[in-house]
Structure 1
């Protein structure tokens, strides 16, 4: 796959101006909607992007067959649940802060900077990237280190397909991902109490990034991502804890050495580089043997046992063969 310069693109492949302007008007018109959280056991919050405001996507639905690693018959959380209870520290540390405050984020125009050991570095507009990708839906469990999880129907494309566009060299052993740093729009980055050295960064080993489960999401529930869920493009690595699935990505850097990630830098005794879901390794301050599947409530807590690699062991266990997963947590 190849991203060409504008002069090399036939007019038949250029996005019509009306479609481009429609997208800009859509992105600029995201409003704030108040949605009640009855039954969740969570406070009522204002959503940064209402269900009606988001743009519908064209995608292939997940194939419902037993040998499909992307399929689950578990009940998905509702859109309200999935978009109202989030970790996105750029907008605050409370789970409801992103839905309250992420409406300030401008997501159009958006480009992804590609650096490091690749044959095709450069700044790639998101529209050009999406022209080369076939969108599909995958239903993934996403588990957070605080011992709660959700099942979400994501829309996007394989990370491996995106990587192939940039043609990494043999020196590319890792990928570092970087989130947008825009203090005027992301109130958490202005906080005097933040311990994060912005911008937020994450990383994967190259073989992890090339695994078929690794996914770049641009939507959920059939429509574009709400700001609070990582618009306009985010990573989903479902066998790892949620903080690995970095949001609002603006840079990919292909490196020969392991990058230092944000939470690993802040608290290395609590958050490791690999962050694989592992019920046998407790967080220093709590057990991770069980999780709370959202939606839940005081009367119906939905407490279930945590599965190794979040249940995706058949697909990813081979990546860590011979590794001490207590040491490399």
Structure 2
């Protein structure tokens, strides 16, 4: 499995994905020489092509592909959208797919406040006017020891935080999800394992500002499905999946380390940092390997990489830290 490819000339376009319009888009762009120079724009640019050769998908945004971040093979779209955790809609992997249609995503606004000079409440529409969207294919690793390769569409979180001008005493970032009365686990807490919502997660400010950290608004060339955290979710590829909080409505910069949902539930199993580390086992299972969810009916067991394979980029953030203690 490839973990990272830096040179566009080395990238293989023989990706495994059942999404016909996504795959056809990439093949056509490659054929006309655009993919090779890493400047792929949104699917709307294909309007002039023969409609019989590709199905045009309007449900997306203009974007560019960042070929520096590439994983192969892709997890099929059908699996990435039907096997995930979103506890506001239930505890089983298929629950979000079947129940998240009740999530109201339009209109959507995000409050960014706390230790900042210019707090704002900004609509997603206005955010997208200010941000440069990129497609990045990241390896996604769940703390439950399964993984996927997913093409996310989003922008660097650090670019958004610049809008509010963080104060010098801002050291951490706290994220908070939407709570809507139509969510099954809000109406019936037993469906969500009696987890207290809103779901909260946090990062150090330097982690949040790292170039790999993005806020995703789409995947596989489409807007995010509700079950995958629409319309705005966090992606921190070197951390376990539970850190990648979904359906964000508030981002607060704070001075002290925030208490996240899973850390408050069981800090012995779910630490604040949650960096992918094959050398530190979960109390109930090993983290040395993972079940990759790809094409076919089974799982491919592969070794887990330190920092999920992104150690070259993020290892310096933890220089001198005891990564067993600060798990």
Q: Which TM-score bucket, shorter chain as reference?
A: 0.7 to 0.9
CA displacement at 1:301 relative to structure 2: 2.6
Which position in structure 1 is the counterpart of 2:59? 55
Distance (whole Å) between structure 2 residues aligned to residue 284 and residue 59 of structure 1? 41
Contact 2:76 2:295 in 1 (8 A): no
Contact 2:120 2:164 in 1 (8 A): no
Please list every run of 5 or more consecutive structure 2 residues that lacks an aligned counterpart in the other structure: 1-54
TM-aligned CA distance change 1:90 to 1:192, over 3 Å: closer
Which position in structure 1 is the counterpart of 2:76? 78
Q: SS where residue 81 of structure 2 aligns?
A: helix
CA displacement at 1:52 relative to structure 2: 9.3
Contact 1:118 1:254 in 2 (8 A): yes
State which of 186, 201, 220 in structure 2 corresponds to 1:189: 186
Which position in structure 1 is the counterpart of 2:44? none
Which position in structure 2 is the counterpart of 1:10? none
Distance (whole Å) between structure 2 residues aligned to residue 297 and residue 94 of structure 1? 21
Contact 1:160 1:209 in 2 (8 A): yes
Which position in structure 2 is the counterpart of 1:316? 314
Q: Deviations over 1:55-82 (max 9, x none)?
A: 122110122xxxx3x233x111111111
Q: SS where residue 150 of structure 1 aligns?
A: strand
Which position in structure 1 is the counterpart of 2:6? none
Which position in structure 1 is the counterpart of 2:37? none
Which position in structure 1 is the counterpart of 2:290? 291
Q: Deviations over 1:147-183 (max 9, x none)?
A: 000000000100111111111110110000000011x
Contact 1:54 1:226 in 2 (8 A): no
Distance (whole Å) between structure 1 residues aligned to residue 291 and residue 56 of structure 2? 29
Contact 2:70 2:138 in 1 (8 A): yes
Q: SS where residue 64 of structure 2 aligns?
A: coil
Contact 1:90 1:188 in 2 (8 A): yes
Show structure 1 runs of 4+ deviating over 6 A: 51-54
TM-aligned CA distance change 1:275 to 1:54, over 3 Å: farther
Q: Deviations over 1:238-260 (max 9, x none)?
A: 00000000000000000000000
Which position in structure 1 is the counterpart of 2:161? 163
Q: Deviations over 1:161-208 (max 9, x none)?
A: 1111111110110000000011x2211233333332210000000010
Q: Deviations over 1:18-67 (max 9, x none)?
A: xxxxxxxxxxxxxxxxxxxxxxxxxxxxxxxxx9997122110122xxxx
Contact 1:54 1:225 in 2 (8 A): no
How many residues are aligned here?
Answer: 272
Q: How does 1:23-102 map to 2 (within 5 A)?
A: 55-63=59-67, 68=68, 70-72=69-71, 74-102=72-100
CA displacement at 1:123 relative to structure 2: 1.2
Q: How does 1:1-329 map to 2 (within 5 A)?
A: 55-63=59-67, 68=68, 70-72=69-71, 74-182=72-180, 184-193=181-190, 194-295=193-294, 300-329=298-327
TM-score (norm: length of structure 1): 0.80
Q: SS where residue 127 of structure 1 aligns?
A: helix
Please list every run of 5 or more consecutive structure 1 residues that lacks an aligned counterpart in the other structure: 1-50
Q: SS where residue 287 of structure 1 aligns?
A: coil
TM-score (norm: length of structure 2): 0.80
Contact 1:119 1:169 in 2 (8 A): yes
Distance (whole Å) between structure 2 residues aligned to residue 301 and residue 136 of structure 1? 29
Distance (whole Å) between structure 2 residues aligned to residue 195 and residue 124 of structure 1? 31
Q: SS where residue 186 of structure 2 aligns?
A: helix
TM-aligned CA distance change 1:153 to 1:102, over 3 Å: same
Q: SS where residue 84 of structure 1 aligns?
A: coil
